């Protein structure tokens, strides 16, 4: 797969990333004041399913995604801020698609199948996305070029996102994307809006915690990127298990090369890590011309999510401060831990049934667990929708499982991409 390219999008805290997507899939954004909408628009005939594993979801039409339900098509997936209020964005998308003659045919006209997932952001108290915002995001998707040019970072549904609330922090979240080919040649692409209770983990398992500012009430971080209260408490920080490390290449099934516009971190343990295309964001400036490497928008040098050097053995996982412990006393989750959700769309060009799309969505959740710690909590509405555009038949007995394995890596990369490209 070719090297990803990225550039700063003028007027937005985002970058434009070139990734490969299944033919006909387009992405559009509407960005408001601290909130937004992102629409993933697949081609006609796309099959879909999905699964919720978080304890506090805000979703639309997920019951219809169950394999035993009659309808297997998905005409659009709407990602939005505004929690349950933001699900109204789906109404605008649905009406706009009907006006275009798209949707499930009925005797009274087409009924578009529009799936929705929302995150919690500050617009809940002000003006959350509505039907007009959804329509605007859809029109942006319709006008978007095919071929995989996507704006990522703090844009669309990722505009008001944040992460690491369980550490008493509000680190930037955002919208991310990544893609890869599985060994059979199928394209697997993931789009993620990251607004998690937990922290983002690098491919080697180390937490990605940008520095807290001098006037920022978030927990300070020590040289290992862990909250000072957690490391000073005397409570051992648990080591990660194998699920947070990128697998080594074995046999005839290579680790997929992930394209997301993010530099590949170096490994300090000898364990290979995922290739991410090696693309460094390029500043376009006001005139749109290519410039030098862009400043890291999240405080990580060069935008790289690299490991902490000079640390041997399994990487640590950040843990919340222990109340009343030496050096600590901060309350886990900050003032509230209820404003979280990570939502993901996985798309492939493979021919999959609705049941097979459900299996693909389940693998997407595995990728979420690889890049978020913790994930799928009672306070997250974590959900994944899987789409199959159906242009590449499965030819091998293990094709479905290699696509699912690739999806795990791609979803993890998309989640990290959302943070690296967030301002």
pLDDT for residue 167 is more than 80:
no
Burial of 122 (0-12, 13-18, 19+ CB in 10 A): middle
Q: How far apart are CA 13 and CA 154, in angstroms?
A: 5
Q: At what angle do helices 89-99 and 131-143 cross, to 10 degrees?
A: 50
Summarize the confidence of residues 112-130 as an average pLDDT: 94
Question: Residue 93: its pLDDT value, please?
Answer: 98
Distance from the first to the final alpha carbon of the chain: 27
Q: pLDDT of 349-399, one tens digit each?
A: 999 999 999 999 999 999 999 998 777 778 777 899 999 999 999 999 999
pLDDT band of residue 249 (cuts 50, 70, 90) is very low
Q: Among 8-17, 141-150, 155-164, which is the least confidently predicted range?
A: 8-17
pLDDT band of residue 140 (cuts 50, 70, 90) is very high
Q: Give the mean pLDDT of the chain.
A: 73
Q: How far apart are CA 406 and CA 334, in angstroms?
A: 35
Q: How far apart are CA 117 and CA 254, in angstroms?
A: 33
Closest by Cα among 83, 84, 111 to 97: 111
Q: Could you tell me the pTM of the whole model? A: 0.73
Which residues have a Cβ under 8 Å from the Cβ of 177 and sit 6 or more positions away?
17, 19, 27, 150, 152, 189, 190, 191, 192, 260, 414, 417
Question: Residue 260: its pLDDT value, please?
Answer: 64
Summarize the confidence of residues 127-133 as an average pLDDT: 96
Cis omega (within 30 of 0) for bond into 374:
yes
Question: Residue 13: its pLDDT value, please?
Answer: 75
Question: Residue 409: its pLDDT value, please?
Answer: 96
Q: pLDDT of 331-347, one tens digit each?
A: 444 445 567 789 999 99
Structural domain boundaries, residue 396: 5-420
How much of the chain, in percent, has pLDDT values that exceed 70? Answer: 66
How much of the chain, in percent, has pLDDT values that exceed 90? Answer: 49
Question: Residue 138: its pLDDT value, please?
Answer: 97
Q: pLDDT of 274-308, one tens digit each?
A: 333 333 232 222 233 323 223 332 322 223 333 32
Which residues have a Cβ under 8 Å from the Cβ of 165 and sit 6 or more positions away?
196, 197, 333, 334, 336, 337, 339, 340
pLDDT for residue 240 is more than 50:
no
Q: Among 145-159, 191-205, 324-338, which is the least confidently predicted range?
A: 324-338
- Residue 369 has phi, psi (to 5 degrees) of -65, -25
Q: At what angle do helices 354-371 and 399-420 cross, to 10 degrees?
A: 40
Question: Residue 308: its pLDDT value, please?
Answer: 27
Check residues 270 and 174 and name the one with the higher pLDDT: 174
pLDDT for residue 329 is more than 80:
no
pLDDT band of residue 309 (cuts 50, 70, 90) is very low
Q: How far is CA 303 from CA 53, 198, 258, 280, 369, in A?
A: 30, 20, 16, 8, 22
Question: Residue 53: its pLDDT value, please?
Answer: 86
pLDDT for residue 141 is more than 80:
yes
pLDDT band of residue 421 (cuts 50, 70, 90) is low
**CATH for 379:** 3.60.70.12
Total tally of structural domains belonging to the chain = 1
């Amino acid at each position: 797969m070719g090297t990803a390219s990225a550039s700063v999008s003028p007027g937005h805290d985002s970058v434009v990333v070139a990734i490969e997507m299944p033919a006909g899939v387009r992405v559009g954004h509407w960005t408001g004041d601290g909130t937004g909408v992102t629409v993933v628009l697949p081609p006609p005939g796309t099959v879909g399913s999905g699964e919720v594993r978080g304890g506090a979801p805000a979703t639309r039409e997920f019951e219809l995604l169950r394999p035993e339900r009659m309808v297997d098509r998905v005409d659009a997936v709407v990602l939005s801020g505004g929690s349950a209020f933001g699900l109204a964005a789906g109404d605008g998308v649905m009406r706009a698609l009907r006006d275009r003659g798209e949707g499930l045919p009925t005797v009274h006209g087409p009924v578009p199948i529009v799936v929705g997932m929302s995150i919690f952001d500050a617009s809940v108290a002000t003006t959350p996305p509505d039907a007009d915002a959804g329509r605007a995001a859809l029109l942006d998707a319709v006008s978007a070029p095919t071929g995989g040019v996507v704006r990522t970072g703090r844009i669309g549904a990722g505009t008001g996102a944040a992460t690491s609330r369980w550490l008493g922090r509000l680190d930037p979240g955002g919208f991310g994307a990544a893609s890869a080919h599985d060994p059979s040649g199928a394209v697997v692409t993931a789009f993620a809006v990251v607004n998690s209770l937990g922290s983002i983990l690098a491919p080697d398992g180390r937490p990605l915690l940008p520095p807290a500012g001098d006037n920022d009430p978030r927990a300070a971080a020590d040289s290992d990127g862990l909250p000072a209260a957690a490391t000073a408490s005397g409570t051992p920080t648990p080591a990660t298990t194998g699920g947070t490390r990128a697998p080594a290449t074995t046999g005839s099934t290579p680790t997929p090369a992930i394209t997301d516009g993010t530099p590949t971190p170096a490994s300090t343990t000898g364990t290979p890590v995922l290739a991410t295309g090696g693309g460094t964001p390029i500043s376009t400036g006001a005139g749109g011309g290519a410039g030098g490497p862009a400043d890291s928008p999240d405080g990580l040098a060069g935008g790289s999510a690299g490991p902490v050097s000079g640390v041997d053995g399994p990487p640590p996982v950040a843990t919340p401060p222990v109340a009343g412990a030496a050096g600590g006393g901060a309350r886990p989750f900050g003032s509230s831990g209820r404003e979280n959700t990570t939502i993901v769309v996985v798309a492939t060009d493979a021919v999959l049934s609705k049941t097979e799309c459900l299996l693909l969505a389940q693998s997407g959740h595995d990728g979420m667990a690889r890049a978020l710690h913790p994930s799928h909590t009672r306070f997250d509405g974590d959900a994944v929708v899987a789409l199959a555009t159906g242009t590449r038949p499965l030819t091998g007995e293990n094709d479905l499982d290699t696509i699912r394995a690739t999806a795990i890596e791609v979803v993890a990369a998309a989640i990290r991409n959302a943070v690296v490209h967030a301002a």
